[in-house]
Amino acid sequence: MKMLKYIFFTFLFIGVVLISCKKDAELNTIDQGYNYFPDDVGRYIIYEVDSIAYDDLSHVPDTTRYLLKEVIASTFIDNSGRPTLRIERFMKMYNDSIPYDSMNWTGPRVWHANKTSSTAEKVEENIRFIKLIFPAKIKKNWDGNSYNTLGEKEYEVISIDEAEMINNVAFDSVITVKHFEQINFIEYIFEVEKYARNVGLIYKVRDSLYDGGTANTIGYTYTQKIVSYGQ
């Protein structure tokens, strides 16, 4: 009888171990979406940026256009003991009489980023935002302002792994994160970011436009589109 009990509990133990190992293996094979936010030192992306401000005085849009280059320059350990990316940002301001290729980059301004097992965070002008959460899934939402004082803002994944073409650059797997949307008869507010696997941020738009009456628009439009990328 003792031998039968021993055999029974031995097989029971082996079964529990096998089930546990299977669950661990399944978890390890889940696509978390980490490669939407690459963190390789030396990686860079160049963007084309248009910033247009509308006011109720001049009735003339004020447009600022430039190239922006973001480079993951190095890593360091922050005050919380976390690996942190140093992101250096360079600019070339648009000049209709001088081609971009003839200009030197100015800068850098320095931003930072952290990628953890559950979040991708970016510190922009000393303000921290949660850009993505992992695993990345459709309809997933979170407070992008959890780590700052700007007030709650619900981010939501509205599409994932879709093919897109930005500035004639093709991407086969893009995730779209909506930051805010409010559309009615007098205002149009829309904020969204797109990330491509193994590339990072490829598109950003922030529109905040109001109908000031007499066909006058007040507000701004900011658009950032990828031009090229590399290592």
Q: CATH number, domain at 158?
A: 2.40.360
Same domain (yes/no): 185, 160: yes
pLDDT at 22: 47
Interval 168-182: pLDDT, tens? 999 999 999 999 999
| pTM of the predicted protein model | 0.85
Pair 3, 100 in one domain:
no
pLDDT at 215 over 80: no
**Does residue 9 sit in the same domain as residue 60?**
no
User: Do 172 and 213 reside in the same domain of the chain?
Assistant: yes
Whether residue 46 sits in one domain with residue 20: no
State residue 130's pLDDT score: 98
Distance of CA 34 to the CA centre of its chain: 11
Range of the domain at 162: 31-230
Are residues 211 and 197 in contact, defined by beta-carbon separation less than 8 angstroms? no
| Alpha carbon distance 168, 228 (integer Å) | 10
Give per-residue pLDDT as tens, 86-137: 999 999 999 999 999 999 999 999 999 999 999 999 999 999 999 999 999 9
Same domain, 117 and 9: no
List the Cα angle 119/121/124 in 5-degree steps.
170
Q: Are 8 and 82 part of one and the same domain? A: no
Claim to verify: residue 73 and residue 21 sit in the same structural domain: no
**Confidence band, pLDDT 50/70/90 cuts, at residue 58:** low
Same structural domain for residues 56 and 18?
no
Tell me how many domains the chain contains: 2
Residue 24 shares a structural domain with residue 98: no
Q: In which band, very low, low, confident or very high, does the pLDDT at 154 lie, cut at 50, 70 and 90? A: very high
The overall average pLDDT reported for the chain is: 89
Closest listed residue to residue 109, CA positions, set 69, 140, 81? 69
Assess whether 46 and 13 both reside in one domain.
Answer: no
